[in-house]
Amino acid sequence: MLENGYIVWEGASLLDNSPIFLVLTGFVFPTSNRRTGRQIQSWILQQEFTPTKAAKQGLDHGICGDCCLKMSQTNTCYVRLLPINNIYHKYTRGSYPKFGANEIAMLERYRYSIRIGSYGDPTAVPFEVWEPIILASKKWTGFSHQWSQCDQRWKKYLMASVQTQAEARIAQNKGWRTFRIIVPNAPLNENEILCRHTEDDRMQCRECGLCHGASSKPNIVDPVHGLNWKVSNFIKYLNQQ
């Protein structure tokens, strides 16, 4: 019987060796995320702490690395953590069935689009774990703040998440396409376009799929959005760069 979520992998984080795990959800009940639309969501979480505790106490290095957006740094991460605690609790109860060959076949058959790293940096999990899933789904979007230090094979599947033009240039020179968060109304570079969902909120990542790693397509820019205090934390952070 088809389940909504599966445990894909458990092991030592490639970022700091702490125990982490990867769960995929959304096989039965689509996500309510209006930006992504119906994409399989992927969650990379610490094994020993609820997501809220890990974020509040800075125990999230194994899944977020040194991402500047996390709570213990600028506290501007747009991900709502409380619902993710439910995924954590379900994992600790052992309620997720193991993801295996049948589920890979299902991804191949239905061509579900997948969001690589709905929370947590995908590169914390070995590339070899992800690649069969990505190849089976054939349509994905994904982002990493760890682009400068991760396994560089990732550039074919992920966008480098960057905050400044200087960072974007460095990543692009290394062969990455970039996804840059800007302050509202900031100018774009000539090799950048606005996120299509921002242009037209009927467009969702599932159909758009532009954020899928290296290609000749333009780099993507998105104005910071979300709760007012997070936006102002982000603007403060950018002004200090």
| 205 lies in the binding site for ligand SF4 (CB under 6 A) | yes
> Binding-site residue total for ligand SF4 (CB under 6 A)?
11
| 220 lies in the binding site for ligand SF4 (CB under 6 A) | yes
**Residue number, 61 or 197, with CB nearest to ligand SF4:** 197
Going by DSSP bridges, is the β-strand pair 19-25/5-12 parallel, antiparallel, or unpaired?
Answer: antiparallel
Residues of span 13-72 touching ligand SF4 by CB under 6 A = none
Residues of span 119-178 touching ligand SF4 by CB under 6 A = 141
| Contact with ligand SF4 (CB under 6 A) among 208, 213, 224, 234 | 208
| Number of separate helices (H) and strands (E) present in the chain | 9, 9
- Which part of the chain contacts ligand SF4 (CB under 6 A), choosing from 10-18, 60-68, 170-178, 207-215? 207-215
| 210 lies in the binding site for ligand SF4 (CB under 6 A) | yes
C-alpha distances (whole Å) from 148 to each of 27, 70, 88, 123, 144 are 32, 18, 29, 11, 9
Distance CA(117)–CA(122), nearest Å, equals: 5
- Which part of the chain contacts ligand SF4 (CB under 6 A), choosing from 82-90, 105-113, 116-124, 200-208? 200-208
The type of residue at 187 is: P
Place of tokens 């379900």: 90
Nearest CA to 31 out of 94, 125, 113, 138 is that of: 113
Q: Which two tokens stand for residue 136?
A: 């089976």
| 209 lies in the binding site for ligand SF4 (CB under 6 A) | yes
| 79 lies in the binding site for ligand SF4 (CB under 6 A) | no
